[in-house]
Structure 1
Amino acid sequence: MEAEESRSQLPGDEATAVEVTAEQLVARAIAPIKKEFLRPPPVRSSSADNEAAAAATNDNKNPAHPGSGLLKDKKSKRQLKRERRQEQKSARNLCPEVAKTGDVTSCPYKDKCRYSHDIEAFKAQKPADLEGQCPFVKSGGPCPYGLACRFSSTHEDGVLSSTGHLNGLKNSSEVNGLSKDVQKLLWKNKMRFSKADAKLKSLGLLCPKSKMKDMENKDGENGGSNKCSLSDDNGCCEVASDLGPKLEEAIKDDDADAKYETDELCPQKRRKTGVNCDPSEIEKGVNVTEEIERGSINTEPEAGCDTLTIKTDLSLKLHPREKKLIDFRDKLYLAPLTTVGNLPFRRVCKVLGADVTCGEMAMCTNLLQGQASEWALLRRHSSEDLFGVQICGAYPDTVARTVELIEQECTIDFIDINMGCPIDIVVNKGAGSALLTKPMRMKNIVEVASSTVDKPITIKVRTAYFEGKNRIDSLIADMGSWGAGAVTIHGRSRQQRYSKLADWDYIYQCGRKAPKTLPVVGNGDVFSFVDWNNHRTACPELATCMVARGALIKPWIFTEIKEQRHWDISSGERLNILKEFVHFGLEHWGSDTKGVETTRRFLLEWLSYTCRYVPVGLLEVIPQRINWRPPSYYGRDELETLMASDSAADWIRISEMLLGKVPDGFTFAPKHKSNAYDRAENG
């Protein structure tokens, strides 16, 4: 569509009397919105400026103000712990067991329980119930939160069984939870990784114990660094020598030590449990009888050893190129997205047409330490029929042990290794985009990971570390022989972050150079079915295109691609999508007050992206490009105008429409601040 009339449409300070055409706006990466929907630029008086300056000055004089330069007294760990215990004992935190049953005597810890047992005090301070029905009852099961549920008034009689316990389990449709037994082993640094260590040893990447002791002795001299002294390109281990002793002091459990003694000697006897595994899944690599029948283990005990030692025969493992690969061709692939790519959001995208989903990036070191918050990133919903997890690590041994642990504990279809993350805290540790400067380490990581597990290993990279120094085209011909099952190429360098448009010409070049057996996935700026079609037509060698920020801004992009149309979605339909996310969020994070506020936080993070969407009916040129900066405009109704606001206060108003009033003193600032259109010339 071409606009015949011209008008003023420049955001911010650029808004002048200059008349510009739609084509000129597009050239400047400004969304060409129809004249009748444009909002006039605000007139800010000098008196208002003075009042704002005075308010800022008063705030800076306040010692509690973050920009005042005056620091609060730092609390000691003991004081913080005491405050946490007092908070737990307050009436706001009712014992979960008492909340479930409504019976004070049901708590097994009695007076030693950390939580409050005062039901009446809890009811007196509990916020009013939210409108609607409890998500767990709505799904046909009992609510695991009982009295603490913010929809408790909708609970029917008979929710609890005759024994006072719940008839159902929370999140029964979710898998990949970390069992307590395995978590304790990880805490105590007693988990053994036989397959990973055997493969590392065969490739010469396993750090000898003598060198590890030398590193511990020289730790002080090296400024606390635990890096191995072997070749940096080979990427040897990063030893956390102080982790085990510290955690062993914190966890005194003699019974647990006795219980896990056999597991320590015979690591392959560790089995998946019903808590973290789909009962219908066959346990792989842990059934001793099956392994003996296949002849892949050594059943002869070592001299002087009373316990059977299981040894994996790596010679019988499938070659990486013989593994069953994932067919990504023409599938709609939702990218792993930090913070916003959580399980409820992925469920929304599945409903709207996504075929492949991948969990948020998890750090290998945190997974190996048994951090529950990091393992939560690996959780999978039953609706995700083709699901992978993404991990990020700097060294072959860390990655190899992580993939072995994930394959043992999780139900997944593939494991993706992130070699393109641009975040400073990741790059400074040698992971993410930092690996692009060390191709030999990239090779070692992929080779050892693919040889350790039977699941396909895919990798995600950027074009290069530095702008103008692309290098993936020189490596992609060998990536298949390393053992990679697929390669995703984000068409930007690490230096670019997310500014400027993705270099799809370079992605096409890499796709044509890749061997036919290696699927190549393109990634960057896919924001409509037109973008999808153009990329697939321009380079048929590409298996598919990955959708990332486009799904954050408009998750119905998957529907648009499948139906090959521009969906002029209404504000009511968008609100229904948000309602569905809230329902999924309450099922995932809980329907009590804590779960409601966690759902609200993630909803607000998502709304900080959806506000960039410009409805199709308001544009003079379609489709919208992802780098267009929308000027201030009115929607076709009040709700559409509210959804177009870039103010956090308006996002909070939308959250209150779905989750009730925010608590007193509530504030929100988005975790991710985009620089996608910080300058006009980025487009």
Structure 2
Amino acid sequence: MGDDSPAETGPVLEVSNGAAAAAEKTPEELVAKSIAPVKKQFLRPPPVRPCCPKNHNDEVSDGNAKPAQSNVVKEKKSKRQLKRERRQAQKSPLGICPEVAKKGDVTRCPYNDNCRYSHDIEAYKTQKPEDIEGECPFMAVQEPCPYGLACRFLGTHKDGVADGDVNARRRSSEMNGLSKNVQKLLWKNKMKFTKADAKLKALGLMGHANSKIIAMLKENGPVVSKTCQVTDENGCSELPNNTDDKVELSTEIKEDGPADETFPSDESRPAKKARSGIEEEFGSGEADDGVDGQTYMQPEAEAAANIEFSENDKSLKTHPREKKLIDFREKLYLAPLTTVGNLPFRRVCKGLGADITCGEMAMCTNLLQGQASEWALLRRHSSEDMFGVQICGAYPDTLARTVELIEQECTVDFIDINMGCPIDIVVNKGAGSALLTKPMRMKGIVQAASGTVDIAMTIKVRTAYFEGKNRINSLIADMGNWGASAVTIHGRSRQQRYSKLADWEYVYQCARKAPDSLQVLGNGDIFSYVDWNKHKAECSELSSCMIARGALIKPWVFTEIKEQRHWDITSGERFNILKDYVRCGLEHWGSDTKGVETTRRFLLEWLSYTCRYVPVGLLDVIPQRLNWRPPSYFGRDDLETLMASDSAADWVRISEMLLGKVPDGFTFAPKHKSNAYDRAENG
């Protein structure tokens, strides 16, 4: 079909892909419609197909048509099915014992015949997939490969490299692992949290807030200080006679807050889930739920609480953050990003200019239960010189115990408390954005967490839970007194999600109201050095800006900001960045088959974002804005065209260029709708 004329192709059914509209409008009109103004010579002609009278659904091959998305699947396997498949894989010859594979010696396995993995080396060699082109990432740095026979780059291994400690490199370059002894204590609910419990007792947050308040009201009557309406909805977690620490609470919380059945109250929340059963070591359920929460305090904890929080020592309450400061000013901050913001991606961003990195959001309840997969989110690479972890929880006791555990087991510069996550599964548990409707609980969480450890404590929030009911400006003045070193404000409400652009005017308003001791960072839609300069120039009170989706789509945005230029990056340079990511991924997840496929999955998730980037040299108007929808276009070479595709099949093709052929039956569907645009973004 070299000619698009209907006279030669017969009846034509046009498929709208934005390219036709882009060709007919001026760049200004396209920008007004949030369509990327790609130069007309690069626009892809709209795909056409003959309109067959018998069957309009018959597909006809077209050079302009995108590859069929045969690699996309929507079904999700159950946990039971995945577990069954893992056990079957372990029993097969391909499931060779890791200890045997390291040096090809069956005597190395300490479990011998009781091992659940295969020890048949010859059977493994006959069924092992072909090696992948390229060099083993561990050989490139002249280190022993910890995967031995199982490495997919076995042909590049050198003689004698198996000698020595094969895990030495990982221990030297990555940190923040959970020790087995502590994990076992968490599994058995025998972990003691002396510092956290002492602080919780001092703040009056030891037991459930609802139970304590009911007991106090029965004894003293319904007396509440100031304007704080003590209800289950606002999460007030202090006794009515603690008038010194009360803050003003808007009366709209009860009216506009989520319903009780959506956000479980303190009284109804499951003890095992929310509190991880940790406190069962200290006492019974009655003591846990009642006013006598202190009955299961350890004697040394009570003594520490009495000494540290003495009535005669007011300085500890007035200045709790003196030795917990961290300077965010003018530094480029890579946001904690779900799924894609893993350690290999952060390493890539560090190499491209990011100053501050933060791990993916980890749920406190899972950390307190010793879940290895959740603790993996706290891993830190040695190149991350200023690193924080982000945690999420709904209650002060959960957060306080989590930060004490992190301080004990990890090396971090700050801990960020997520109070802005919009995901339903998080919000429905009373965490994330749900806390924006409960300012008294926000206060209790920050006070308990910051008072438990010496690590700097920061907060991440959105403007509000409900659109049009912004709340942070009324709380910003108190956040520093609660114990926060910094607060990051995402200029969107939870209800808004990612539709429309971020409200930076409101972020500026909050920054100007904040005390000098509280650093305020803005977040939302930063996609170029122009965006960065604009926000910094319009509000000098902003300490810095956090970069999130902009870094996912083009991680070299950090380089652009530092060098103050628009980088017309070539497809080859972009491909080299992907190579760096794959190398870091293989070092982190492993160079065996499992590690290769894990790296591939995360690479594909990232590619579902990078396809939104439009090269600078193809645009009539620069810089690209984050909400622009790219029309279908050709790149300046075949690789650039392939990288612009929003087809999962093309993302798989790119992964095969880096990690070899995908396994038989391989399927992929993006975890997030990363390549989708909300209608509201486009008018």
- TM (norm. structure 1) is 0.81
Q: Which amino acid aligns with 1:97?
A: E
1:49 to partner: Cα distance: 3.9
Q: Which amino acid aligns with 2:561?
A: I
Q: Is the 8 A contact 2:611 2:675 kept in 1?
A: no
**Aligned 1:261-276 pairs, distance under 5 A:** none
Confirm or deny that 1:193 pairs with 2:193.
yes
Give the equivalent residue in structure 1 for 2:44: 39
Distance in 1 (CA, whole Å) between partners of 2:509 and 2:518 is 14
- For each residue in 1:161-187, what CA deviation from the matched residue of structure 2 results, as whole angstroms up to 9, or x when unmatched? 38xx64735353000001111111111
Cα gap change, 1:242 to 1:19, in 2 (>3 Å): closer
Confirm or deny that 1:51 pairs with 2:58.
yes
Q: Is the 8 A contact 2:208 2:266 kept in 1?
A: no
Distance in 1 (CA, whole Å) between partners of 2:455 and 2:339 is 25
Give the equivalent residue in structure 2 for 1:495: 495
SS at match of 2:418: strand
Distance in 2 (CA, whole Å) between partners of 1:367 and 1:132 is 37
- For each residue in 1:420-461, what CA deviation from the matched residue of structure 2 results, as whole angstroms up to 9, or x when unmatched? 000011111100001111111111111111111100110000
- For each residue in 1:228-268, what CA deviation from the matched residue of structure 2 results, as whole angstroms up to 9, or x when unmatched? 989733285887555799999xxxxxxxxxxxxxx999xxx
Distance in 2 (CA, whole Å) between partners of 1:136 and 1:245 is 41
Q: Is the 8 A contact 1:236 1:397 kept in 2?
A: no
SS at match of 1:15: helix
- For each residue in 1:607-633, what CA deviation from the matched residue of structure 2 results, as whole angstroms up to 9, or x when unmatched? 000000000000000000000000000
Cα gap change, 1:11 to 1:566, in 2 (>3 Å): farther
Distance in 2 (CA, whole Å) between partners of 1:81 and 1:470 is 45
Give the equivalent residue in structure 2 for 1:120: 122
Distance in 1 (CA, whole Å) between partners of 2:320 and 2:499 is 36
**Aligned 1:338-487 pairs, distance under 5 A:** 338-487=338-487
Cα gap change, 1:535 to 1:103, in 2 (>3 Å): same
**Aligned 1:67-78 pairs, distance under 5 A:** none
1:211 to partner: Cα distance: 6.2
Cα gap change, 1:89 to 1:324, in 2 (>3 Å): same
Confirm or deny that 1:314 pairs with 2:308.
yes
2:235 pairs with one of 232, 253, 256: 232
SS at match of 1:44: strand
Give the equivalent residue in structure 2 for 1:95: 97
Q: Which amino acid aligns with 1:326?
A: I
Cα gap change, 1:142 to 1:539, in 2 (>3 Å): same
Give the equivalent residue in structure 2 for 1:284: none
SS at match of 1:459: strand
Q: Is the 8 A contact 1:387 1:414 kept in 2?
A: yes
Q: Is the 8 A contact 1:171 1:587 kept in 2?
A: no
- For each residue in 1:42-82, what CA deviation from the matched residue of structure 2 results, as whole angstroms up to 9, or x when unmatched? 113334742379xxxxxxxxxxx979xxx99x99x6x9866
Q: Is the 8 A contact 2:234 2:440 kept in 1?
A: no
Cα gap change, 1:355 to 1:103, in 2 (>3 Å): same
**Aligned 1:640-651 pairs, distance under 5 A:** 640-651=640-651
Q: Which amino acid aligns with 2:341?
A: G
1:21 to partner: Cα distance: 0.7
Q: Is the 8 A contact 2:22 2:30 kept in 1?
A: no
Distance in 1 (CA, whole Å) between partners of 2:22 and 2:335 is 42
2:32 pairs with one of 4, 15, 27: 27
Q: Is the 8 A contact 2:396 2:445 kept in 1?
A: yes
Number of aligned residues: 589
1:152 to partner: Cα distance: 1.1
- TM (norm. structure 2) is 0.81
Cα gap change, 1:150 to 1:13, in 2 (>3 Å): closer
Q: Which amino acid aligns with 2:236?
A: D
1:546 to partner: Cα distance: 0.7
SS at match of 2:389: strand
Q: Is the 8 A contact 2:635 2:641 kept in 1?
A: yes
Give the equivalent residue in structure 2 for 1:5: none
Cα gap change, 1:36 to 1:524, in 2 (>3 Å): same
Give the equivalent residue in structure 2 for 1:538: 538
Cα gap change, 1:247 to 1:117, in 2 (>3 Å): farther
**Aligned 1:174-193 pairs, distance under 5 A:** 174-193=174-193
Cα gap change, 1:502 to 1:28, in 2 (>3 Å): same
1:130 pairs with one of 129, 132, 140: 132
Distance in 1 (CA, whole Å) between partners of 2:419 and 2:499 is 19
Distance in 1 (CA, whole Å) between partners of 2:379 and 2:207 is 32
Give the equivalent residue in structure 1 for 2:255: none
SS at match of 1:12: coil
SS at match of 2:546: strand
1:140 to partner: Cα distance: 2.2
Cα gap change, 1:17 to 1:376, in 2 (>3 Å): closer
Q: Is the 8 A contact 1:188 1:244 kept in 2?
A: no
SS at match of 1:144: coil
Instruction: Name stretches of at least 5 consecutive residues in structure 2 with no aligned partner.
Output: 1-14, 61-72, 216-230, 238-264, 284-297
1:399 to partner: Cα distance: 0.7
Cα gap change, 1:615 to 1:19, in 2 (>3 Å): same
**Aligned 1:195-234 pairs, distance under 5 A:** 195-207=195-207, 232-234=235-237
1:368 to partner: Cα distance: 0.6
Q: Is the 8 A contact 1:29 1:680 kept in 2?
A: no
- For each residue in 1:580-624, what CA deviation from the matched residue of structure 2 results, as whole angstroms up to 9, or x when unmatched? 000000000000000000000000000000000000000000000
Q: Which amino acid aligns with 2:104?
A: G
Distance in 1 (CA, whole Å) between partners of 2:460 and 2:74 is 38
Give the equivalent residue in structure 1 for 2:569: 569
Q: Is the 8 A contact 1:205 1:236 kept in 2?
A: no
Give the equivalent residue in structure 2 for 1:85: 87
SS at match of 2:168: coil
Give the equivalent residue in structure 2 for 1:285: none
Distance in 2 (CA, whole Å) between partners of 1:245 and 1:330 is 38
- For each residue in 1:475-508, what CA deviation from the matched residue of structure 2 results, as whole angstroms up to 9, or x when unmatched? 1011111111000000000011111000011111
Instruction: Name stretches of at least 5 consecutive residues in structure 1 with no aligned partner.
Output: 1-9, 54-64, 216-227, 249-262, 266-300
Cα gap change, 1:159 to 1:230, in 2 (>3 Å): same
Distance in 1 (CA, whole Å) between partners of 2:40 and 2:86 is 55
Cα gap change, 1:198 to 1:26, in 2 (>3 Å): same
SS at match of 1:416: strand
Distance in 1 (CA, whole Å) between partners of 2:576 and 2:434 is 41
Give the equivalent residue in structure 2 for 1:504: 504
Distance in 2 (CA, whole Å) between partners of 1:560 and 1:246 is 44
SS at match of 1:391: strand
**Aligned 1:606-617 pairs, distance under 5 A:** 606-617=606-617
SS at match of 1:50: coil
- For each residue in 1:553-595, what CA deviation from the matched residue of structure 2 results, as whole angstroms up to 9, or x when unmatched? 0000000000000000000000000000000000000000000
Q: Is the 8 A contact 1:11 1:631 kept in 2?
A: no
1:391 to partner: Cα distance: 0.4
1:17 to partner: Cα distance: 9.8
Distance in 2 (CA, whole Å) between partners of 1:246 and 1:207 is 15
Percentage of identical aligned residues? 74
Give the equivalent residue in structure 1 for 2:253: none
1:139 to partner: Cα distance: 1.6
